[in-house]
Amino acid sequence: MADTILKIEHLNKTFEVDKEKIDILKDINLEIKAGEFITIVGHSGCGKSTLLKIIGGLVEYTDGTVERNGKKVTEPGTDCGMVFQEHRLLPWLKIKDNVAFGLDGVPQDEREKLVKEHINLVHLDGFENVYPAQLSGGMSQRAAIARGLVSNPSILLLDEPFGALDALTRIQMQREIQRIWKEKKTTMIMVTHDIDEAIYLGKRIVVMSARPGEIKTILNVDSAAKNRGSADFAYYKKKIYDHFFEDAEDAPEYII
C-alpha cells in the first residue's frame, strides 16, 4: 500500500475582517496516499483554494494539523509545486527561463537537463526561446505545469488551472495533465468548479459544503467512469449534484 503523503486532521481556518471572525474551513480531515490524483469540488467561496494554499504552506491555518511528507507544514517547500488559474509566467523571460525560475542553486548542467526534460514532458519542445506573449493560453499553462514539476516535487497542487481556457482547449489540457500524472506518478491535488473535470481526472473526489467549508463526502471513482458518455460517469455526476442541491426544487437541469 502506498505511503501517506499528506495528512490533515481537524483543520480550521478563520479570517478576521473588521474585528469580526469569519470561519472559512471547519474540521477538515483528509489523508492522501502517494501517487493519488485528488479533485476537490464545492461552491464558490467554500475555501477550496484556501485549503490548497494551506497544504502548500502559503497560508497559515488557525488550528489542527497539516503534515506533508511526515513533516508539519509551516512554509512553502520544494517538495510541493503549485499551478494557478493564471499561468503567472514572467513576461520578460523566455519559456526555458520561466521553467528554470525555481532552480536557483542547481548546477548549470543539471539545470539545463531538468528544463529540457520538463519542456519535452509538456510537449513544448521547439518553444524554449519564445516569450509568454507568443504562446496560446493552453501552451502557457503547459509551461506553468513544467515550472511546477521541474523541481521534482512529491505533490503538485492545481488551483483551477484550466478555468480560463476555452472548452476544447480545456478538454485537451485535462488529457495532458492525466498523461503527465501517469508518466511522472506525482501526487496531484486539483481544485475545480467543473464537475465533469473532477470525475474525469480524480481517483477520489472531495465534495465540500458551502462556507464554512467542510468535507461532505469523498467519492472513490471507478475507472469505468472515465468515459464521459458512460452511465457510470452520469452516476457520479448526479451523485455530486445531489450533494450540492439536496432540495430537488433547487436542482439544475442536467443530463443523466
Domain ranges of the chain: 1-76+156-162+186-250+252-256, 80-152
Q: What is the pLDDT of residue 246?
A: 66
Beta strand pairing call for 37-41 and 204-208: parallel
Domain 1-76+156-162+186-250+252-256 matching CATH 3.10.420.10: the answer reads: no
Indicate if the alpha-carbon torsion angle 232, 234, 237, 242 is positive or negative.
negative
Q: Is the per-residue pLDDT at 75 higher than 50? A: yes
CA 41 to CA 107: how far, in whole Å?
A: 40
pLDDT digits (tens, 9 = 90+) for 120-176: 999 999 999 999 999 998 899 999 999 999 999 999 999 998 888 888 889 988 999
CA 100 to CA 116: how far, in whole Å?
A: 10
pTM: 0.90
Among candidates 30, 50, 53, 48, which has minimal Cα distance to 208? 48
CA 140 to CA 95: how far, in whole Å?
A: 9
Q: CB of 83 within 8 A of CB of 159?
A: yes
pLDDT digits (tens, 9 = 90+) for 208-244: 988 788 999 999 998 878 888 889 999 999 999 888 8
Query: How many residues are present in the chain?
Result: 256
Q: CB of 123 within 8 A of CB of 176?
A: yes
Q: Which residue has cell 481517483?
A: 203
CA 117 to CA 124: how far, in whole Å?
A: 10
Q: Is the per-residue pLDDT at 202 higher than 90? A: yes
Q: Is the per-residue pLDDT at 255 higher than 90? A: no
Q: Is the per-residue pLDDT at 248 higher than 60? A: no
